[in-house]
Chains A and B, each alone.
Chain A
Amino acid sequence: DGGITQSPKYLFRKEGQNVTLSCEQNLNHDAMYWYRQDPGQGLRLIYYSQIVNDFQKGDIAEGYSVSREKKESFPLTVTSAQKNPTAFYLCASRKLTGGGEEQFFGPGTRLTVL
Chain B
Amino acid sequence: GESVGLHLPTLSVQEGDNSIINCAYSNSASDYFIWYKQESGKGPQFIIDIRSNMDKRQGQRVTVLLNKTVKHLSLQIAATQPGDSAVYFCAEMITGGGNKLTFGTGTQLKVEL
Binding site for B on A (CB under 8 A): 4, 31, 35, 38-45, 48, 50, 56, 58, 90, 92, 94, 96, 100-108, 110
Contacts and interface: CB of A to CB of B under 8 A. Distances in A.
Q: Chain B interface residue count: which class?
A: 20 to 34
Interface string B64-98: 00000000000000000000000001010101001
A40 B7 contact: yes
Contacts of A48: 98-100
B43 A105 contact: yes
A41 B98 contact: no
Given A40-B8, A102-B46, A108 B41 contact: yes
B42 A96 contact: no
A108 B43 contact: yes
Q: Which of A38, A103, A108 neighbours the largest number of chain B CB atoms within 10 Å of its CB?
A: A103
Interface stretch (B12-20, B53-61, B101-109): B101-109
B42 A42 contact: no
B43 A31 contact: no
B6 A41 contact: yes
A38 B42 CA distance: 13
Nearest to A108: B43
Contact of A90 (B44, B91, B100, B105): B44
A42 B34 contact: no
B27 interface: no
Nearest to B44: A105
A101 B103 contact: no
A104 B104 CA distance: 17
Contacts of A103: 46, 101
A38 to B, nearest CB: 8
B99 A39 contact: no
Interface in B33-58: 34, 36, 41-46, 49
